[in-house]
């Protein structure tokens, strides 16, 4: 079937399948003449906005307020926090001229916005009554990605949301992190995207953070994809940017901060990869730009009555995102195109359907067909949309869990990594002293993703897979994008 549609089979070559689907389904167009800067097409842009809207609803429901900061940041701000500048100075796009005039101070395009938000936080936070300060923005960010770019997963311009908070105590900062986790868990559940929440090792934290938590999913080729992060910044940035306040005792102290960064582009990529098949996309009904497509099956001399019924059905389904495809081309061509785009349900209407007052409903996920009387159509569509999502979620979780294994030695771990997925192994330390062992694992083209958040470790009598010393942690290792 994949060959008939002109798509590479995902099982045979996942990379080619993915590139073809994002193009042919109308997600992005990579032909823009600057590498790493794709054009988001209407189908892809709808999905971006839909995912962003789900996150925005969660943020605003927990007290965050939307803002929009300038895309340019002065060079001096980047150097205020030492770890942060080391983490990003090689990735920024610099602006040095305006017309023919050299700027007195270089500017850079935001790779992330701590250095944009926090100088303003220092002006806005004066008292404990000013906190918690909880702001977010939905924007594009820019990083000079030097590795091979990959549509939506790794580019030089991408969509994300970043939420920044200032808190009066460490306890409140930690509560904020739990709130971020709850928001992300809810949205990913609604997208049927399984994930693991890891505490990153010290050498792989966000530059300047005290602790980094990352949300990793698995793609069909067994590689992990980070789709969001939450960071406890402690007081590091507050001290660097002078974010001080008077506490209830009228004593001056530095604020405690957190930031949360869901990668919208990567979340859309995960949706495409995890649920798609060799016909193209399979989209959850909540995210699909078109939830139901109506395709007429005309017969010479019966065109008018078929079209009339199609339009009537379209009006009755007004609460859904419905598309009537009345183009003058073969029904088979239309079926393939809408299957490629992942439309959850297709309604086929021919002369016999018009005469019998019924419709034929086809599921995108399984291809099952149902002949339904007009009077029962609404109830059947509700049933099918719910069942489509449930099956998608169950299937994704089942495949995800099948990709999780464990190993007790480097040799065993290497073999498991070749099969793909997360491999749980005993490890000496997630502090800086474990970085040398992590480098040995990177020699296998894999990375230590971290310890699983909330998991109790049981390591008595075990040895680190890399150095043979006493293991203090169970870490998960994977090949990653």
Identify whether the C-beta of residue 66 lies closer than 8 Å to the C-beta of residue 60.
Answer: yes
Element of type H or E holding 239: helix 236-241
How far is 434 from 239, CA to CA, in rounded Å?
28
Domain 14-275 has CATH 3.30.70.3460: no
Confidence of residue 83 (pLDDT cuts 50, 70, 90): confident
How far is 478 from 198, CA to CA, in rounded Å?
12
The pLDDT value recorded for residue 147 is 74
**Mean pLDDT across the chain:** 94
How far is 172 from 460, CA to CA, in rounded Å?
34
Q: Percent of the chain, pLDDT > 70?
A: 97
The fold adopted by the segment(s) 404-478 is Translation Initiation Factor IF3 (3.30.110)
- pLDDT, tens only, 228-240: 999 999 999 999 9
Element of type H or E holding 134: strand 133-142
Confidence of residue 299 (pLDDT cuts 50, 70, 90): confident
Predicted confidence (pLDDT) at residue 302 exceeds the cutoff of 90: no
- pLDDT, tens only, 121-130: 999 999 999 9
Instruction: Name the residue among 299, 331, 294 with its Cα closest to residue 313.
Output: 294
CATH number, domain 292-386: 3.40.50.800
Taking the complete model, does pTM exceed 0.75, yes or no?
A: yes
Q: Where are the domains of the chain?
A: 14-275, 292-386, 404-478
The pLDDT value recorded for residue 90 is 86
How far is 379 from 386, CA to CA, in rounded Å?
11
The pLDDT value recorded for residue 50 is 98
Beta bridge partners of 133: 166
Please name the residue ranges forming H helices in 341-434.
351-356, 377-402, 410-419
Predicted confidence (pLDDT) at residue 4 exceeds the cutoff of 50: no
Predicted confidence (pLDDT) at residue 5 exceeds the cutoff of 60: no
- Residue linked to tokens 């910044």: 233
Identify whether the C-beta of residue 141 lies closer than 8 Å to the C-beta of residue 114.
Answer: no
Cα angle 233, 192, 57 (rounded to 5 degrees) comes to 55
How far is 13 from 314, CA to CA, in rounded Å?
39
Identify whether the C-beta of residue 281 lies closer than 8 Å to the C-beta of residue 275.
Answer: yes
Confidence of residue 187 (pLDDT cuts 50, 70, 90): very high
- pLDDT, tens only, 365-421: 999 999 999 999 999 999 999 999 999 999 999 999 999 999 999 999 999 999 999
Predicted confidence (pLDDT) at residue 287 exceeds the cutoff of 90: yes
């Amino acid at each position: 079937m994949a060959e008939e549609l002109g798509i590479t089979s995902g099982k045979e070559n996942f990379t080619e399948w993915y590139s073809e689907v994002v193009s042919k389904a109308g997600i992005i167009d990579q032909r823009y003449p600057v590498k790493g800067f794709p054009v988001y097409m209407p189908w892809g842009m709808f999905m971006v906005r839909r995912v962003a809207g789900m996150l925005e609803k969660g943020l605003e429901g927990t007290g965050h307020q939307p803002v929009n900061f300038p895309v340019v940041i002065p060079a001096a701000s980047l150097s205020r926090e030492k770890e942060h500048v080391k983490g990003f100075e090689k990735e920024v796009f610099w602006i040095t001229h305006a017309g023919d005039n050299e700027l007195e101070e270089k500017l850079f395009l935001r790779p992330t916005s701590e250095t944009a938000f926090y100088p303003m936080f220092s002006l806005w936070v004066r008292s404990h009554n000013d906190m918690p300060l909880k702001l977010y923005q939905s924007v594009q960010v820019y990083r000079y990605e030097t590795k091979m770019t990959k549509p939506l997963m790794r580019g030089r311009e991408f969509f994300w949301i970043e939420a920044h908070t200032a808190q009066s105590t460490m306890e409140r900062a930690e509560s904020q992190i739990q709130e971020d986790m709850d928001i992300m868990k809810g949205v990913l559940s609604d997208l049927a995207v399984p994930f693991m929440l890891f505490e990153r090792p010290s050498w792989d934290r966000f530059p300047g953070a005290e602790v980094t938590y990352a949300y990793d999913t698995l793609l069909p080729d067994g590689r992990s994809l980070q789709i969001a992060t939450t960071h406890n910044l402690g007081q590091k940035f507050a001290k660097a940017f002078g974010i001080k306040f008077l506490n209830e005792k009228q004593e001056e102290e530095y604020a405690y901060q957190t930031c949360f960064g869901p990668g919208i582009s990567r979340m859309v990529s995960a949706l495409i990869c995890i649920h798609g098949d060799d016909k193209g996309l399979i989209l959850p009904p909540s995210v699909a730009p078109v939830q139901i497509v109506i395709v007429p099956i005309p017969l010479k001399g019966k065109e008018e009555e078929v079209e009339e019924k199609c339009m009537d059905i379209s009006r009755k389904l007004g609460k859904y995102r419905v598309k009537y495809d009345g183009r003058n081309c073969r029904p088979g061509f239309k079926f393939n195109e809408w299957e490629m785009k992942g439309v959850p349900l297709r309604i086929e209407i021919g002369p016999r359907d018009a005469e019998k007052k019924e419709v034929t409903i086809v599921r995108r996920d399984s291809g099952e067909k149902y002949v339904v009387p007009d009077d029962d159509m609404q109830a059947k569509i509700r049933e099918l949309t719910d069942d489509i999502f449930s099956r998608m979620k169950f299937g994704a979780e089942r495949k995800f869990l099948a990709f999780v294994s464990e190993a007790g030695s480097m040799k065993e771990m290497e073999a498991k990594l070749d099969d793909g997925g997360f491999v749980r192994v005993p490890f000496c330390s997630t502090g800086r002293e474990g970085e040398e062992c992590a480098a040995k694992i990177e020699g296998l083209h894999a990375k230590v993703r971290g310890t699983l958040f909330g998991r109790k470790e049981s390591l008595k009598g075990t040895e680190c897979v890399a150095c043979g010393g006493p293991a203090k942690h169970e870490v998960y290792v994977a090949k990653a994008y």
